Amino acid sequence: MAGIGFELKKLFLKKGVLNSAKAYGYATVICAGPMLLGVVLLLGIMVLCSFAKVDVYSRELLICMITYTLLFSVSVSSFFSMVVTRYVADMLFEENNGAVLPSFWGSTVIIMAVGSVIYGIFLIFSGATFMQGFLCFVLFGELGIVWNAMSYLTAIKDYKGVFLSFLSAVAVAFIVGAIMIAFELPVIESLLLAVTVGYGVMLIWDVILLHRYFPSTKLGAFTFMKWIDAFLPLALSGLFMNIGMFSHLVIMWFSDIGVRVHGLFYGAPWHDVPALLAFMTAIMTTVNFVVSVEVNFYPKYRNHYSLYNDKGTINDIKQSEKEMLTTLKTEIFYTSLKQLLFTAACIALGGYLLDLLPLGFNEIMRGYFRTLCVAYGLYAIGNMMMLILLYFTDYRGAMLTTGVFAATTVIFTVISLFFPYVFYGFGFLLAAMIFVVLCTLRLDYFTKRLPYYILSVQPLVAEDRSGMFTRLGVFLEDKLEDRTK
């Protein structure tokens, strides 16, 4: 992600409101493109259904199908996302660009193979019709590739290309959906197809961008599997973070406010819609982290670590560390303040703005929205500090904090089910608070001992970190070579 901040700095050097808006827009899509697209499309579908006077059953089933597909795909991809990002960074550092694209297709194959089996079995028994199941399955495949592609697209720095792919996907999905509804075609299948076509546009565009920037070679497609063994805490951190973010939604589907929409498709509309809108407020910190923390912090960070490699004096190292940590504290403070002010504004204006949307908000949903706005705001601040731990290669600290976040989200959300339904959402809020506190304490502990972690905890000799995933990668590589002979 450091490369993103460095490139964004060039955009912010250009004066004017439009240039600043462009830079923020690019950062938003780069950081949260696929999930942001999913939320926008879900909200757009609700609006289209309201204008078309679609019955409640069809609308809820459609939203459930898309939500399930989004969550299944991101859950499978989350285990690989941070590891492949580390792999790409290492390959670019070694100037081994030819290894990047094969690893993309190799990781995509594994994500698709694992995810397709799990989600395919679910769809068979879900109660969906053949066409509905087929469209959900295709959408799942597209999402798996798109999630994985975003981990690689951070390296190419073609902000305009990624931004245009996002806008094109939104536009195509809405146009196709509106046309099919205008012709009074089956609503569920029509809008599922529209979303599938929209993500298909994004998929094709993103893959073209990757092929344009990285050479196609026959290097090992599954070599990256060794990185899972070497950086297993990274893989687990990605998985834990996903569980922490979304498990409370799944638990709510089986609460007192949950409903069985059709077959195995459950939902909690009173909770899900406010949660989707509240999730959008967390993007403020994500974008500001890239724009402010990385643009201003990264030069200090790079200078400090370069002094160890370039034979800097002890006084120079101490001074650069002081400057780096001072900048870091300042950026964390102002980024957190921006998020809290934005959350307060959303809570204050949310009631009025939500009434303008045809989403059927009632007082209970407004309460959930306010609670979840605070929860996702705190989560965003905690996530920012966790990413800074990754900056300092404190992978164990990131794994521990995200693991606690995942566990407390599940535990506290289940406990909240024993209270009146007006308190639903407080389980996730408590988990987010604990997440922020733990990340703050861990970051403070680590940075106070930074010279020790840089100089003293590194292994004296090279370690062989090969394991189960390395052996699986070798096995798949051998099978691939046999088929190409």
User: Which H, E and C letters describe the chain, residue by residue?
Assistant: CHHHHHHHHHHHHCCCHHHHHHHHHHHHHHHHHHHHHHHHHHHHHHHHHHHCCCCHHHHHHHHHHHHHHHHHHHHHHHHHHHHHHHHHHHHHHCCCHHHHHHHHHHHHHHHHHHHHHHHHHHHHHCCCCHHHHHHHHHHHHHHHHHHHHHHHHCCCCCHHHHHHHHHHHHHHHHHHHHHHHHCCCCHHHHHHHHHHHHHHHHHHHHHHHHHHHCCCCCCCCCCCHHHHHHCHHHHHHHHHHHHHHHHHHHHHCCCCCCEEEECCEEECHHHHHHHHHHHHHCHHHHHHHHHHHHHHHHHHHHHHHHHHHCCCCHHHHHHHHHHHHHHHHHHHHHHHHHHHHHHHHHHHHHHHHHHHCCCCCCHHHHHHHHHHHHHHHHHHHHHHHHHHHHHCCCHHHHHHHHHHHHHHHHHHHHHHCCCCHHHCCHHHHHHHHHHHHHHHHHHHHHHHCHHHHHHCCCCCCCCCCCCHHHHHHHHHHHHHHHHHC
Q: What is the pLDDT of residues 243-264, one digit of tens each?
A: 998 899 999 998 888 889 888 9
Same domain assignment for residues 149 and 8: yes
Last residue of a domain, one of 166, 197, 230: 230
Asked if residue 339 lies in contact with residue 373, where contact means CB atoms within 8 angstroms, the answer is no
Same domain assignment for residues 146 and 1: yes
pLDDT at 155: 66
In terms of average pLDDT, the best of 27-36, 278-287, 331-340 is 331-340
pLDDT band at 443 (very low <50, low <70, confident <90, very high): very high
Asked if residue 83 lies in contact with residue 234, where contact means CB atoms within 8 angstroms, the answer is yes
Within a domain: residue 241? no
Q: Which residue has the higher pLDDT, 42 or 182?
A: 182
Same domain assignment for residues 226 and 262: no
Tell me the backbone φ, ψ of residue 310, rounded to 5 degrees: -100, 20
Mean pLDDT score, 448-465: 73
Mean pLDDT of the chain: 83
Which of 57-71, 194-208, 452-466 has the lowest average pLDDT?
A: 452-466
Which of 273-277, 323-327, 383-387 has the lowest average pLDDT?
A: 273-277
Measured at the alpha carbon of residue 233, what is the angle toward residues 147 and 116, in degrees to the nearest 5? 35
Within a domain: residue 278? yes
Within a domain: residue 483? no
Within a domain: residue 62? yes
Q: Which residue has the higher pLDDT, 50 or 142?
A: 142
pLDDT at 33: 54
Can you tell me the distance from the alpha carbon of 431 to that of 87, in angstroms, rounded to the nearest whole number?
31
Same domain assignment for residues 290 and 398: yes
Within a domain: residue 207? yes
Amino acid letter, residue 141: G
pLDDT band at 82 (very low <50, low <70, confident <90, very high): confident
* Residue 399: pLDDT over 70: yes
- Two structure tokens written together for 441: 């304490």
Within a domain: residue 466? no
Last residue of a domain, one of 230, 259, 275: 230
Asked if residue 238 lies in contact with residue 81, where contact means CB atoms within 8 angstroms, the answer is yes
Which of 21-25, 132-136, 398-402, 469-473 has the lowest average pLDDT?
A: 21-25
Last residue of a domain, one of 230, 259, 292: 230
* Residue 20: pLDDT over 70: no
pLDDT at 405: 96
Q: What is the pLDDT of residues 418-429, one digit of tens each?
A: 998 888 989 999
* Residue 2: pLDDT over 50: no
Asked if residue 242 lies in contact with residue 74, where contact means CB atoms within 8 angstroms, the answer is yes
Q: What is the pLDDT of residues 31-41, one digit of tens each?
A: 655 566 667 77
Same domain assignment for residues 221 and 334: no
pLDDT at 461: 63
Mean pLDDT score, 287-297: 72
CA distances from 452 to 21, 231, 385, 478 (A): 41, 21, 20, 42
Same domain assignment for residues 181 and 73: yes
Provide the domain limits for residue 157: 1-230
Q: What is the pLDDT of residues 342-386, one digit of tens each?
A: 888 888 887 677 776 666 677 888 888 889 999 999 998 998 899
Same domain assignment for residues 325 and 183: no
pLDDT at 470: 85
**Is the pTM higher than 0.85?**
yes
Same domain assignment for residues 279 and 209: no
Within a domain: residue 467? no
Same domain assignment for residues 186 and 274: no
**Percent of the chain, pLDDT > 70?**
85
Q: What is the pLDDT of residues 142-196, one digit of tens each?
A: 988 988 888 787 766 666 677 777 778 888 888 888 888 888 788 888 888 988 9
Residues sharing a CB contact under 8 Å with residue 368, sequence separation 6 or more, in sequence order: 270, 271, 274, 275, 278, 424, 425
Asked if residue 143 lies in contact with residue 73, where contact means CB atoms within 8 angstroms, the answer is yes
* Residue 86: pLDDT over 60: yes
Within a domain: residue 480? no
| Angle, helix 2-13 to helix 159-182, in steps of 10 degrees | 90
**Percent of the chain, pLDDT > 90?**
22
pLDDT at 35: 61
Same domain assignment for residues 220 and 355: no
pLDDT at 9: 59
Mean pLDDT score, 321-350: 86
Can you tell me the distance from the alpha carbon of 477 to that of 456, in angstroms, rounded to the nearest whole number?
36
* Residue 6: pLDDT over 70: no
Same domain assignment for residues 225 and 284: no
Query: How many domains are there within the chain?
Result: 2
pLDDT at 121: 93
pLDDT at 460: 62
* Residue 3: pLDDT over 90: no
Same domain assignment for residues 401 and 366: yes
